[in-house]
Amino acid sequence: MTDAAVEVRGLVKRYPRSPVNAVDAISFGVERGEVFGLLGPNGAGKTTTVGVLTTRVRPTSGSALVGGVDVVRDPVLARSLLAVVPQRSNLDRSLSIRHNLLFHAAYHGVSADERGRRADLLLDQFGLRERAASKPDLISGGQAQRIMIARALMHEPQVLFLDEPTTGLDPAARLFVWDRLRELKNRGVTLLLTTHDMNEAAELADRVAIMDHGKLLAIDTPAALVESLPGAATIELATEPLDGRPVDDVVAALQALPGVEAIERVQAQPQGNGTVPTAEAEGPLRVRLYLTGQAPMLVSPAASALGEHGLGLTDVKLGSPSLEDVFIHLTGRTLR
């Protein structure tokens, strides 16, 4: 038994007939009471990782422990310690919302009195009281998400796994879910959530693991990850199509500007292989500059530098570095 809520060591998952590992030898630990975010684009291996931890995906190799229990060797015991809120509603459509909660607790051996008490409490907390008797057929995504979180809490799990908990929700529903998750954190429930939304990761997570192509690229607190980036501010520039102009010269000219600490080419569309093509001579150039000073001061010099190469600016984005920049820094791609 270890003290960690979740422990993953050298986890590999390769699906049959797939040439690559969906999860490629990752290791991490989640402390009890911690909110841990797996951040990465779709297809990064986040859902597969959660699938292994929640006993629904058999790992190819490596080990995964939840609450100190090996999920492969003792899935039954592991299931009693964890709960899952999936990406898409899997509510029982034959049961009312209240009975979804009650039967879930019954599956987990909660006594009848206690089931009723907890269901009433959670229905109140999640603003579901009026709808308790209706079937979960005609409800919004936000409500389904609330019901599934309430249901997950019925057996008081040690670790709650949430797969993209607010994807597809409207802003109000998203804030509501975030508030509920913060409450859970305050109550000491360990949360492991996957997301491709850097705001969500920054808002909720104590620590974030950045995942791409089945690998963990970095793992730290959101603040430390952002601090690890070169520079204090960023500026993202897009130009007219290069039309064969020597891209290296353009990049070198920008790099030479005062206050530019680092420069990265950015692809607007994520590419399957995760690498940044260097000789893309035809399309528009998109670069991100990491700056030591103030970003607005650099717009004019950058425009002039580009002008000298006959390139006009088409877009400028100023920003202070965020988790998104960390992802771009690590992979050369945007998150979406």
Positions 132 through 171 that interact with another protein (CB under 8 A): 151
How many residues sit close enough to another protein to count as binding (CB under 8 A)? 36
The nearer residue to another protein, 115 or 333, going by C-beta atoms, is: 115
Binding mask 7-36 for another protein (x = CB under 8 A): --------x---------------------
Q: How far is the CB of 120 from another protein (least distance, A)?
A: 19
Structure tokens at 121: 């409490």
Whose structure tokens read 């051996």?
Answer: 109
Cβ proximity to another protein, 52 vs 305, nearer residue: 52
In order of 102, 132, 163, 229, the CA distances from 326 in angstroms are 43, 43, 21, 7
> Least CB distance from residue 107 to another protein, whole Å?
4
Which CB sits closer to another protein, 40 or 51?
51
Contact 87, 163 (CB under 8 A): yes
Question: Minimum distance between the CB of residue 142 and another protein, rounded to whole angstroms?
Answer: 18
Q: Could you give the residue ranges of the DSSP H alpha helices within 141-170?
A: 141-153
Nearer to another protein, 41 or 136 (CB): 136
CB count, 10 Å around CB of 26?
A: 23
Written as six digits, the tokens of 71 are: 């999920």
The DSSP string of 21-89 is -SEEEEEEEE-TT-EEEEE--TTSSHHHHHHHHTTSS--SEEEEEETTEETTT-HHHHHHHEEEE-SS-
Nearer to another protein by C-beta: 107 or 258?
A: 107
Residue 319, classed as helix, strand or coil, is strand
From the list 109, 171, 244, 272, which residue makes contact with another protein (rule: CB under 8 A)?
Answer: 109
CA distances in angstroms from 67 to 86, 170, 171, 190, listed in the order given: 20, 33, 33, 10
**Least Å distance between CB 67 and another protein?**
13
Q: How far is the CB of 200 from another protein (least distance, A)?
A: 23
Give the nearer residue to another protein in terms of CB position, either 57 or 226.
Answer: 57
CB of 90 to another protein, least distance (A): 4
* By CB under 8 A, residue 108 contacts another protein: yes
Cα 87–140–145 angle (5° rounding)?
35
Q: State which of positions 38-97 bind another protein (CB under 8 A).
A: 48, 51, 54-58, 73-77, 79-80, 82-84, 86, 88-95
Smallest separation (angstroms) from another protein to the CB of 307: 54
d(CA 97, CA 123) in angstroms, rounded, equals: 9
Binding footprint of another protein on the chain (CB under 8 A): 15, 48, 51, 54-58, 73-77, 79-80, 82-84, 86, 88-95, 99-100, 103-104, 106-109, 151
